């Protein structure tokens, strides 16, 4: 039994405003996808439980470029690079299909799903998720406390002033990050159940835990990490390039 990971890197990154796909945008001398992959592989969970197979989903016209970007990792992990889909859910599904079709991936009993858009998620966070799944929690997500006041509103298309319905207690809220960890059986079942909506941006799940929730299965939260922040805009990229504390 082993751990595998699906690293989603198929997004265009249009909001980042860069000429390259987001995964290939440089940060501190390395692409975002290279940072994310290296942090996944650096994680050592209990008993040296670590990622042995890595599937990366890439933009359809950049599969070879992503593969070249990660070529130096092939001595550390079984690496597969495949074309992603029209939505994040479809991309993860493509990665899972490649994983189970490969003999090395078919042996994995734990699968992590991570986003290249969170390139600096530290190895300690990856290990924490793996350990929680191994401890008997089949679906695990990292989350950080919400510090802003959150209000639920009644959205009205084309209207700039929206009525507030309630203030949601922030003590019970968590902003969810990746990597998310699952037993392979549960993740495959969740994707099979939600396959009909996978290619529709309006209906597809924004994360894999959401698919598990649709099955009625429990999802557990472990402590997240500020370094796992998502890069969406140019400002996010600039903030990510600021000096931070190193991983323990």
Identify the pLDDT of residue 182: 98
Nearest to 148 by CA among 127, 125, 171: 171
pLDDT tier for residue 15 given thresholds of 50, 70 and 90: confident
Evaluated on CA atoms 17, 18, 24, 29, the torsion sign reads: negative
Tokens 């968590």 belong to: 174
Structure tokens at 229: 């922040």
Helix (H, G, I), strand (E, B) or coil at 166: strand
| pLDDT band, residue 100 (cuts 50/70/90) | very high
- Give the HSE-up count for residue 30: Cα atoms under 13 Å, Cβ half-sphere: 15
Long-range residue pairs from 199-206, CB within 8 A, at least 24 positions apart, any chain: 199/85, 199/86, 199/87, 199/90, 200/87, 201/86, 201/87, 204/87, 204/88, 204/89, 204/90, 205/88, 205/89, 206/88
Please state the pTM of the whole predicted model: 0.94
Please report how many Cα atoms fall inside a 13 Å half-sphere around the Cα of residue 110, on the Cβ side: 26
Torsion of CA 105, 108, 112, 117, to 10 degrees: -10
Q: What pLDDT, on the 0 to 100 scale, is given for residue 12?
A: 82
Mean pLDDT on 71-78: 96
Confidence band for 16, pLDDT divided at 50, 70 and 90: confident
Q: Once rounded to an integer, what is the mean pLDDT over residues 192-208?
A: 95
Instruction: Answer yes or no: are the C-beta atoms of 116 and 92 closer than 8 Å.
Output: no
pLDDT (mean) for 10-18: 85
Mean pLDDT of 200-229: 97
Per-residue pLDDT band at 13 (split at 50, 70, 90)? confident
Q: What is the mean predicted confidence (pLDDT) over 50-54?
A: 97
Token pair listed for 106: 């078919």
Report how far residue 35's alpha carbon sits from residue 126's, in angstroms, rounded to the nearest whole number.
Answer: 13
Task: Give the domain ranges of the chain.
Answer: 2-139+174-240
83 with 66: CB under 8 angstroms? no
Confidence of residue 246 (pLDDT cuts 50, 70, 90): low
CA distance 163 to 102: 52
Q: How confident is the model at residue 32 (pLDDT cuts 50, 70, 90)?
A: very high
Q: What letter does residue 19 receive in the DSSP assignment?
A: S
What is the average per-residue pLDDT within 137-149?
97
Q: Which CATH architecture has domain 2-139+174-240?
A: Alpha-Beta Complex (3.90)
């Amino acid at each position: 039994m082993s751990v595998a990971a699906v690293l989603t890197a198929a997004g265009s990154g249009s909001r980042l405003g860069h000429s390259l796909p987001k995964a290939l945008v440089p940060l501190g001398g390395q692409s975002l996808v290279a940072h994310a992959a290296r942090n996944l592989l650096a994680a050592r969970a209990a008993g040296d439980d670590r990622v042995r197979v890595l599937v990366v989903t890439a933009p359809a016209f950049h599969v070879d470029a992503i593969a070249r970007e990660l070529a130096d990792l092939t001595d550390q992990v079984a690496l597969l690079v495949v074309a992603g889909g029209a939505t994040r859910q479809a991309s993860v599904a493509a990665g899972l299909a490649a994983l189970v079709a490969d003999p090395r991936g078919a042996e994995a009993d734990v699968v992590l799903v991570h986003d290249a858009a969170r390139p600096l998620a530290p190895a300690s966070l990856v290990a924490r998720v793996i350990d929680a799944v191994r401890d008997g929690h089949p679906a695990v997500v990292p989350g950080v406390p919400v510090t802003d006041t959150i209000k639920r509103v009644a959205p009205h298309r084309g209207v700039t002033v929206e009525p507030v319905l309630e203030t949601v207690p922030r003590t019970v809220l968590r902003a969810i990050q990746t990597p998310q960890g699952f037993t392979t059986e549960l993740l495959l079942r969740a994707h099979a159940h939600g396959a009909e909506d996978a290619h529709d941006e309006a209906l597809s799940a924004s994360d894999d835990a959401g698919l598990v929730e649709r099955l009625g299965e429990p999802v557990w939260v472990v402590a997240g990490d500020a370094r796992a922040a998502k890069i969406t805009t140019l400002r996010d990229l600039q903030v990510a390039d600021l000096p931070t504390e190193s991983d323990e």
